[in-house]
Structure 1
Amino acid sequence: PINRQEPGWLCETVATKTALVRIIAVLLAMLHAALAITAAMEKSPTFDEPTHLTAGYSYWLKNDYRLDPENGNWPARWAALPLLWSRPAFPENAAWNRGDVGRVSEVFLYRNGNDSDRLMLQGRSMVAVVGGGLCLLIFFCSNRLFGPFGGLISELLAVFDPNLLAHSALVTSDVTAAFFFTAAAWSYSRLLRFLNARWFVITALSWSGLFLAKMSAAAFLLVASILVAVQLASHEPITLRVPAFEQRITGFWRKLIVVSGATAALLAVVVLAIWTSFTYRFCPFPQNTPARDVWNARWNACLSDRTALENVVGFARDHKLLPEAYLYGFAFTNKSAMFRPAFLDGDWSNTGFSSFFPRAFLYKTPIPVLLLLMAIGIAGFLRWRNAWKDGSIKTIGRDLTKLSPIWTLILVYSAFSLTSHLNIGHRHLLPIYPALFIACGACAYFFRTRSTMMLFAGAMLCWQIAESSFVRPDYLAYFNQVAAGPKNGYKHLVDSSLDWGQDPPALRSWIAQNPDRFGTGQLYLAYFGTALPEWYGIKAKSLPCDRSAPKLVPLEPGTYCISATVLQQVYSFRHGKWTRQYESDYHQVLARSIDESDLAHNESPTHDEDLQRLRFARLCAYLRHRDPIANVGNSILIFQLSQRELDQALYGPPAALVP
């Protein structure tokens, strides 16, 4: 009989209602997709979305792979699938001939007569389906490990996680990669125990999806190797089942032979899937197109260092082992990861920070998830300590084997992240979050009858839901209390961790709600993104952030709207802190370009690229020492500047150099 005085009776009740639990799980997954897509409807396309959607459409429409090959072929195709019904006009211009994906995507979405918002909604809706599927996958895995209640705990954490909600409706490959990393690890671990047609097909689909979703899929090979080692070291047999035949395989060498054969077959399927995705064609495009010259130059740059990995890629290209676009995408990703500007906690680097991802994880993981992980860690440690004292070493071994797809994925991918120089966003940690949520389901296993733990888990779930609700719809800009909340996120991380160009609609609303601020002053905008502000009715003078500006724009008193990534000067030509060398260079170009009579009014018509970049960098350095009057969407900072403050920013002693 169930003691209904204990909260644990709820676990038993839920466990006996299998159909009800599954219905709840499906409804929660649908809720996640709905929350993600409705929030995304209030946001403009983020930096990478136009290129992904345009590239995916070109794959279907043109059977051509010149655009954006470094990102996943499958996610781009999946997102662009609805466009085959609406058939928007596709630009075939000089940019297309060169393979200039940035220009092609801009024309496709904003200058070709297409409904940009509708196209983006269609693509985002497809990704939201993957996000909902990921929540169901998390439930399935946790349910198998820790029972129905554990499965629901894990799924609830995922459904309301701000980070998953932020990316579950963006036309990118991040959530898709998280789905396939989890599915590949789980299905392969099952295949290593139950080698049958069902698990082979599921594993083959998962592996194929992963290698077509993200170039970081190569890290999974180490996950698979560890899973094999765990299986071979365990005493559990492999149940081999084929039509009209079943046998239990035991012994190290016999298991190794069977596993090696199955894994080789899986890799063969992956190679076949890659060729299929590129329609069994080596060349990405017809050879007589101008894009070939561009690609040859890019190939030379990607293979310039002649490292061992680059030599392997070059060998595969020369012998046509895989489609050229796929190999180029891998080479490009590898090369770009070696040198990429990054910002972290007020510091800048060209090669990244070893502490970037640990700190990003600490800042952007909701506190209730961190507390649940700590509780599970303590409970697991106590369980293993008691088992060790009692001489039950096999208990530890069984636990490690049972949980191997979880801890291997977390450890390997975390280690992979620590060695990465590509510190552009917390989103690159998304593949470990499903495993973490699954691990949190263990609280239903460890503390099933303890009222205090049940109350603790319930409180953490309520906290998670509250965190998600308070930050909506600004999920991408979520930061926890360790980072002092979303309003202070720009002091810690930028780019896709916070400001990915998603907030022109929010800026438009803020401008409409504050018309009094623009009565006498100018409105300036320095925007980090690929969406067009004018598409959203924003009439502002564009601040010259780089050499592409047509002229030196006079800076006058008014309202300055600056994206967080631009404010931190991560990708500018004079990036990082304002230094004495920058100050010296600034005074030199001032002396060369502007005479004394122009200084007071800041109206020189001279077009000087150095002055343009240095002046804006100095302005940003000044503004970094001020608090904004508003923080729109937590990603666009608003400053009000008078003439006196402008003079101080451009000609006074720089605050960054004052002792």
Structure 2
Amino acid sequence: MAAGRSTAGRNGTGPPLGKLIIATGLAFTDTKLDPAFTGDQTQLGRHILYESGNNPKTLLLAARLPVIVLTLLFGLVTFLFARDLTTPTGGLTALALYTFSPDLIAHGALATLDVPVAGFVLTATWLLWRARANPGRYVPLAGLALGAAVATKMSALAAVPVLLILAALATQHRKGPKRTLRAAAAVATVALLAIAVVWAAYLTVDPRLHWTTPPDLRPQQGLRALADALPLPRPYLDGLRVQFALEDRTWSTFLLGTYHPGPVWYYLPTALLIKLPLGALALGTAGAATMLTIRGLRPAAPYVLLPAVVLLATAMTSTRDLGVRYAIFVPMFLAVAAGTLVLIRSRWTHLAVAALVVFAAISSLRTFPYYLTYSNEAFGGPSRTHLSLHDSNVDWGQDLARLADRYPGEKIWLVYKGSGVPSAYGITATDPRDVPPAQVHGLLAVSDSAIAKADERLTTLISTSTPIDDVGHSITIYRRP
């Protein structure tokens, strides 16, 4: 346990709250961990899963359960947000789109931070909307939710200015001579409580903040240097510097069948067009337009649309085009926006909304159980997603167990994108790039992301093999004579 606390407290790549939430699932397992282990978080994960005598399937399930619970709770927030804006029918419309979102199903069942941080931002925004009627109750709760987002993942910092504006806005519809004072008090309350949550998360894992800034972290210049002025724990600020360093690296991009040696600014909007169900995309877009055009909904438009727009614009500046999980908040906020369509007094509109919800649900159900590889019908469905996107949109190393079940006991030449250990799943695998091509015969399994970025040797192996199968729509199987 001490080793686990030390690793969590000294992990400078990101804040600890989301990891603490995930770790609660492991508290109910008999996890074996060598107290003398040293290494980074990737090495620690491999050590616990595959080198310590633990059952990897049991541990993975235990780690995922807290995120699954959070995902379900954020679905309730989506329902309540849309219901507060409209009617229970609007809430159910939003909940249906949330429930059948393939990306939320996929990433909401993984021990990652993308859905938790997006859900905390959504929750904070909903609470600020409720604060219009009762600021004394909901403004502090919004501050706590915003703090949870910032203490889960650093990308939530982009939402802080937006939510502080919304906190001030939540007090302005009530007339009186103290409107400015109320706005200032709301902003201060949200900001101070958010900061307190971040500090509490760090103090939980290391009460004395035993942290030493890594010597290789270079000082930041320009606007980035302002980050050091944030009233947050030093490991958080150093983590920001780590993230800035990662952004300065060159990351390749695969989009619409083309490999790019660097980032593509329109990557996320395009990936969302591919990955969102067509019915949800149509309803969300129509709902956003409805909020901007119907007078009674215009006061709610900043609460539903502004956080999503700012977060998406910020994510688009990233050099890491690795998946729509960086914009997982979009289907959440679009679902809420779609719920407002029920306020249009037209029978045909209501029928169209119902039909598109059913269309989105059918599209989602048809992809079961391959939700991570989902793409909508316009782009060919899950079996063809790898032709347009890669990385966490398609291929995140999730199909080792399926590969083992499909070809039990067979020797496999494997080029695998992921951190899993094939032998832990009973796979006898050898990397074909480690031997001359003439020695590679039989089954050749290649992760689709590796195919898109294949070097000359792998390209030669693939071009002289015959594709015979695919596993989970993320690993292509070849037969090599």
TM-score > 0.5 by shorter chain: yes
Q: Please state whether the residue corresponding to 2:477 is helix, strand or coil.
A: strand
* Aligned partners of 1:353 and 1:423 also within 8 Å: yes
Residues in 2 aligned to 1:128 and 1:84: alpha-carbon distance in whole angstroms: 16
1:459 partner SS: helix
Would the aligned equivalents of 1:501 and 1:527 in 2 still touch at CA under 8 Å?
yes
Gaps of 5+ in 1: 1-56, 238-248, 385-394, 570-574, 576-612, 643-659
- SS of 1:296's equivalent? coil
TM-score (norm 1): 0.67
Q: Which residue of 2 aligns with 1:630?
A: 469
Closer/same/farther in 2, CA of residues 80 and 556 from structure 1, 3 Å limit: same
Matched-pair contact (CA < 8 Å) for 2:448–2:476: yes
1:308-331 C-alpha deviation (Å, 9 max, x unpaired): 244234566xxxx53232222222
Aligned residues: 479
Deviation at 1:204, TM superposition (A): 2.1
1:322 alignment counterpart: 232
Where 1:278 maps in the other structure, the secondary structure is helix
Q: Which residue of 1 aligns with 2:254?
A: 343
Q: Partner of 2:33 in structure 1?
A: 90
Q: Which residue of 1 aligns with 2:105?
A: 165
Structure 1 position 376, deviation (Å): 3.6
Alignment equivalent of 2:263, drawn from 352, 367, 373:
352
Could you say what secondary structure the match of 1:473 adopts? coil
Amino acid at match of 1:256: T
- Structure 2: state its 5+ residue gaps: none
Is 1:563 aligned with 2:447? yes
Asked if 2 retains the 8 angstrom alpha-carbon contact of 1:283 and 1:325, the reply is no
Provide Cα deviations, 1:222-259, integer angstroms capped at 9, x if missing partner.
Answer: 32254357558x6x21xxxxxxxxxxx535xx423322
Cα distance in 1 for residues equivalent to 2:209 and 2:427: 39
1:453 is paired with a residue whose SS is: helix
Alignment partners' CA distance in 2, 1:374 and 1:66: 43
Distance 2:208 2:233 in 1: 7
The residue aligned with 2:222 is 308
Work out whether 1:615 is the aligned partner of 2:454.
Answer: no
Q: Give the whole-Å Cα distance in 2 for the aligned partners of 1:423 and 1:332.
A: 18
The whole-number CA distance in structure 2 between the counterparts of 1:542 and 1:225 is: 52
Identity %: 24
- How far off is 1:121 after superposition? 0.8
TM-score normalised by length of structure 2: 0.91
2: distance between equivalents of 1:285 and 1:554?
54
Q: Is the 8 A contact 1:409 1:432 kept in 2?
A: no
User: How far 1:632 moved relative to its partner?
Assistant: 1.0
Pairing partner for 2:21 from 70, 74, 78: 78
For 1:65, the aligned partner's letter is G
Q: Is the 8 A contact 1:59 1:77 kept in 2?
A: no
Corresponding position of 2:306: 408
Query: Which whole-Å CA distance do the structure 2 matches of 1:355 and 1:155 have between them?
Result: 29
How does 1:38-53 map onto structure 2 within 5 Å?
none
1:542 aligns with one of 418, 431, 437: 431
Alpha-carbon distance change, 346 to 284 in structure 1, aligned in 2, over 3 angstroms: farther
Instruction: Look up the equivalent residue of 2:134 and give its one-letter code.
Output: F
Matches within 5 A, 1:105-120: 105-120=45-60
> Which position in structure 2 is the counterpart of 1:417?
315
Q: Is the 8 A contact 1:91 1:104 kept in 2?
A: no
Q: Deviations over 1:507-549 (max 9, x none)?
A: 122214xx8xx6xxx63111111111111111122233xxxx6
C-alpha contact (below 8 Å) 1:127/1:168 kept by paired residues: yes
Residues in 2 aligned to 1:542 and 1:58: alpha-carbon distance in whole angstroms: 37
Partner of 2:9: 65
Confirm or deny: 8 A CA contact 1:71 1:173 kept in the other structure. no
* CA positional deviation for 1:350: 4.2
- Partner SS, residue 472 of structure 1: coil
| Post-superposition CA distance 1:419-475 (Å, at most 9, x none) | 22221111111112211001111221114xx43333322222222222222111111
AA of the residue aligned to 1:537: G
Picking from 414, 419, 426, the partner of 1:525 is 414
Structure 1 CA distance for aligned equivalents of residues 260 and 3 of structure 2: 36
CA contact (8 A) 2:13 2:243 kept: yes
Q: How far 1:120 sits from its partner (Å)?
A: 1.1
Amino acid at match of 1:563: S
Q: Which residue of 1 aligns with 2:42?
A: 102
Paired with 2:412 and 2:114, the residues of 1 have a C-alpha distance of 35
Name which of 193, 205, 214 aligns with 2:144.
205
**Contact 1:58/1:65, CA 8 A, preserved across alignment:** no
Q: Per-residue deviation at 1:279?
A: 1.4
The two structures, once aligned, show a CA RMSD in angstroms of 2.8
| AA at the equivalent of 1:333 | Q
Tell whether the 8 Å contact from 1:524 to 1:543 is kept in structure 2 after alignment.
Answer: yes
Q: C-alpha distance in 2, partners of 1:73/1:64?
A: 7
1:296 to 215, 225, 232: 215
Query: Structure 2 vs 1, CA of residues 466 and 267 (structure 1 numbering), >3 Å: closer, same or farther?
Result: same
Aligned-partner Cα distance in 1 for 2:46–2:104: 27
1:257 aligns with 2:181: yes
